Amino acid sequence: MTRSEMLFKEAARFIPGGVNSPVRAFGSVGETPRFIASAKGAYMTDVDGNTYLDFVGSWGPMILGHSHPAVLDAVLEACREGLSFGAATEREVEMAELICSLVPSIEMVRMVNSGTEAVMSAIRAARGFTGRSKIVKFAGCYHGHSDSMLVKAGSGVMTAGIPDSAGVPEGCTRDTLTAVYNDLQSVEDIFGACGAEIAAVIVEPVAANMGVVLPEEGFLTGLRRICDEYGALLIFDEVITGFRLSLSGAQGYFGVRPDLTTFGKIIGGGMPVGAYGGRKDVMELIAPSGPVYQAGTLSGNPVAMAAGLAQLRLLRDTPDFYEELNRKGEVFFENIKKAVREAGKPWQVNHIGSLGCIFFTDSPVENYAQAKTADTKAFAEYFSWMLGHGIYVAPSQFEAMFLSSAMTEEELAGAQETLKEYLNKSQA
């Protein structure tokens, strides 16, 4: 028995399912989770000494790779000053100023501790500002595990086969309306029925929790138009795309300005952190400035702020960072697409910038229903092969692959060759 297997067996005695987040359980791929001991650059090493080229990157934030020296130095310096104060710090001000300077739609920002917390707080702000109750989300988009958002959610909820969640009262989701991603008519229909009651539309500008599903041309601008027409707010959930597609996130990449934006752990260099921000007239309603209450003892934690400031400043100050990373992603995923096609496989390869996903289905994937046609058993076989050959991808068909700037052309080419070996094996 490997040490990972022993740890998982022991963990199951004390932790529900043996893990602290469902998708880590490897249940949908029939494997035992690997317990990671360390990570550096483009690689992670598990407790059994196996090393993997990491395409998960802590689910996105390790855009510079693991243990970047500048980020580590900032964290260590902050730790020496104190781990938590429960009081205001200069770094919080620096972080707020930095985010507002990088993302044009954000005039004020509030730090929180996770993407889930950022989303639930942004929705509360939208309801407080508009005086309306209903929220429109999209099937397959995952916005964290708050009660009102667990309606046709993506991410681990998809692979677990749980359309909603036990423990969520019906009343909590009564005001959550679900539309079809990339289908503006479905949004028009909802607004036509109850537009005066809708506070906001929340969307992943690139849906990256049902695999990777790109917005069709005109979809995001159409959402902006509909929200303006009915006086609703547009919320971009950029927990994954924020500071990933560009320095100003997906909104900068696509040129669409939301009213509110949510961010996740990338602004903490991978440490537990989140934020929401946007228009000043909306954000000024947040307590203590206004009547919309939201608080957090650990919000703006000084160590997390130090890590995030170091990472974001590196992204800002490195010439052509995104151009180079997105070029790597384009080459990598296009080569995968070519290998899949040459092997005669009908799989779909969706990608944008440094994000991508292989869907094990023969039909294009542009929404949740199409994503659900993927063959999860075929994915599990592919996953096991890649893991066994030193390539760590997300243990779910419905998650993204993330590239980091620490990955070299040679390492990416090696991952492509591993996939080709699998394709040749599966043809035999």
Residues acting as catalytic residues: 142, 237, 265
d(CA 324, CA 133): 43
Q: CB-side exposure of 265: number of CA atoms within 13 Å?
A: 13
CA torsion sign for 308, 314, 315, 316 is positive
Count CB neighbours of 340 within 10 A: 18
d(CA 268, CA 305): 6
d(CA 288, CA 365): 44
Furthest-apart CA pair in the chain: how many Å? 66
CB 275 within 8 A of CB 115: no
- Tell me the two tokens of residue 353: 């910038």
170-192 burial, b at 16+ Cβ within 10 Å, e below that, comes to eeebebbbbbbbbbbebbeebbe
Burial of 74 from C-beta contacts in 10 A (0-12 / 13-18 / 19+): buried
Count CB neighbours of 421 within 10 A: 13
d(CA 53, CA 202): 33
DSSP 23: G
